[in-house]
Structure 1
Amino acid sequence: MDTMRERFTDVAGRLLEEDPRLAVVLAVISRDRFTDAVRDHPDRVIDVGIREQLLVSVAGGLALTGLRPLVHTFGSFLVERPFEQVKLDLGHQGTGAVLVSSGASYDIAAGGRTHQAPGDIALLDTLDGWTVHVPGHPDEAEALIRHAAADDDHRVYVRLSEQSNRAARPVSPGRFRVLREGRAGVVVAVGPLLDATVEAVEGMDVTVLYASTVRPFDAAGLRAAVAGADAADVVLVEPYLAGTSAPFAAEALLDLPHRLLALGTAREELRRYGTWQEHVAAHGLDAAGLRERIGAFLSGSAPRQLQGSPERYRQ
């Protein structure tokens, strides 16, 4: 199976053929994957070099001319480093673009802290008007990228990762998908953490919702799921900073007494870089870690706190 990043570069090349409004803006990253597109569309594939602020500013300028830019690099270079340009050249100017990141939270863990971006969506949440897709499979990534590219002027962030579920699910942008129903609580699994979440709750009488789009947050879908359960216990399982979607879930359930457990990556920096698989386990986001904490929460026990490294967490 190809990766989400490979699928993006393939789809972007085909989209340039299909839609003359589209342009691809790069900052060196993935340039080698657009060789044919550069040859065929030299005026619509722009590599600005290692200048991430310019990357976003160019996208804003292209949008003002009527083009629909697809902007791509690693997440830490696409959202965090040029955040002022994201805020001003896209948000303040009211222009639209599709930001497509790769690297996710810890996919490039060995690259060090500069290449890690677990806080990207939390940072975008400080701005208004962003749609955020977190696909869990390359097929979902293609569908969501095509959906975002066909939009006229909205600001869209598509977060691609190395981690992937075994099978794709139908995507409904802006809506959670009910995968199974239960009475003891509701678990919302985001993007590539679906497989681990489903394995973790095996044998638990819970509703499982799948989210490949997290902004806008499907408040109505969550409320409906909670209304169908005996216990208003909600667990969010997100592949980025823990608690990122907690305010949105709390707002959706504002008038309903409920308990909320927000699972994701910890704020503490893990300095033993390792692999993304090791980071998933260290943050308790593998099936074993999720089962322990979700089970404890639903039973009324206090979930064990992570200690910040794979070795310490396993002790």
Structure 2
Amino acid sequence: MDTMRDRFAPVVSRLLDEDPRVAVVLAEIGVDGFAEARRRHPDRVINVGIREQLLVGAAAGLALTGLRPVVHTFASFLVERPFEQVKLDLGHQDAGAVLVSAAASFDWPAGGYTHMAPGDVALLDTLDGWTVHVPGHPDEAAALLRHAVAAGDDKVYVRLSVQSNGEGLPVDGARFRTVREGGSGVVVAVGPMLDAVLAATEGLDTTVLYATTVRPFDAEALRRAVRVARPDVVLVEPYLAGTSTAAASDALSDVPHRVLGLGVGRRELRRYGQLAEHIAAHGLDARSLRERIGGFLEAGVRA
């Protein structure tokens, strides 16, 4: 199966052909995938070189002229390194763009800590007005990329990952999807965490919600779920643990509830290892998730 990133260049190249407002801004990463598109649209496929601050600044300039820039590189170089430009050039100037990342939290362990960005969504949470898509399958990535580009002049972050669920589900760029219903609690699985969550909760009487758009947070879906299930909520996110716990608590502010945030820990893993080893080390494999989710929900029953 191809990866989410494999879908990126073909989808956006078609959007360049279809919409004269679309422009692509790259910082060396991914340039080869746009070779043909650059021949067709030399004025709208721009490579700024390894200059990530310029990457975002140039995109903001294009947006202010009326274009819809799609900006791409590794997450750590797209959100963390040029954060001041994301904050000021895009946010402060009300300039919209579609930021599309690669490498997720630790997709390429051999790249070391410089190429890991588990805090990207939490960092964007410090800013106003960002939509954040976290697809869990290449089909969902393609759909959400199109949705993001078509979203007027909004500020949108699309987080691509090597990790993927076995099957894609219909996504609308807004709402959580109910995958399983139960009464003993609610588990929200974000993007590529769905398969592991379904395996971890097999046989448990839990509702499983699937989230591929996490900002804005679908508060109403969570509120509906806790009307039929005990208001014990577990969030399983493929980035920094606890990123969405405040959003979940805000959604249930008038309901007595418990929230557990599972995701990537803050402790730096200094051995390169393999992707699966990093997943396990952060407790995001199915077996670890079953222990942590089961223990949390059982404690709620005893309380």
TM-score band by shorter chain is over 0.9
1:251 aligns with 2:250: yes
CA displacement, residues 161-215 of structure 1 (integer Å, 9 cap, x when unaligned): 0000000011022211001110000000000010000000000000000000000
Map of 1:291 onto structure 2: 290
Q: What amino acid sits opposite 1:278 in the alignment?
A: E
5+ long unaligned stretches in structure 2: none
- 1:135-214 to structure 2, matched below 5 A, reads 135-214=135-214
Q: What amino acid sits opposite 2:265 in the alignment?
A: A
- 1:1-315 to structure 2, matched below 5 A, reads 1-229=1-229, 231-300=230-299
How far apart, CA to CA, are the structure 1 residues paired with 2:121 and 2:94? 19
Map of 1:313 onto structure 2: none
How far apart, CA to CA, are the structure 1 residues paired with 2:119 and 2:100? 15
Q: What amino acid sits opposite 1:105 in the alignment?
A: S
Q: What amino acid sits opposite 1:251 in the alignment?
A: D
Q: What amino acid sits opposite 2:16 in the alignment?
A: L
Q: Helix, strand or coil: the match of 1:195?
A: helix
How far apart, CA to CA, are the structure 1 residues paired with 2:102 and 2:9? 11
Q: Please report the TM-score for the alignment, with normalisation by the length of structure 2.
A: 0.98
Q: What amino acid sits opposite 1:44 in the alignment?
A: R
Q: What amino acid sits opposite 1:154 in the alignment?
A: D
Aligned length: 300
How far apart, CA to CA, are the structure 2 residues paired with 1:15 and 1:94? 23
How far apart, CA to CA, are the structure 2 residues paired with 1:52 and 1:190? 28
Shift in Å, 1:38: 1.1
Q: Helix, strand or coil: the match of 1:173?
A: coil
- Aligned CA RMSD, in angstroms, stands at 0.8
Q: Helix, strand or coil: the match of 1:101?
A: strand
Deviates more, 1:54-63 or 1:166-175: 166-175
5+ long unaligned stretches in structure 1: 302-315
How far apart, CA to CA, are the structure 1 residues paired with 2:89 and 2:108? 28
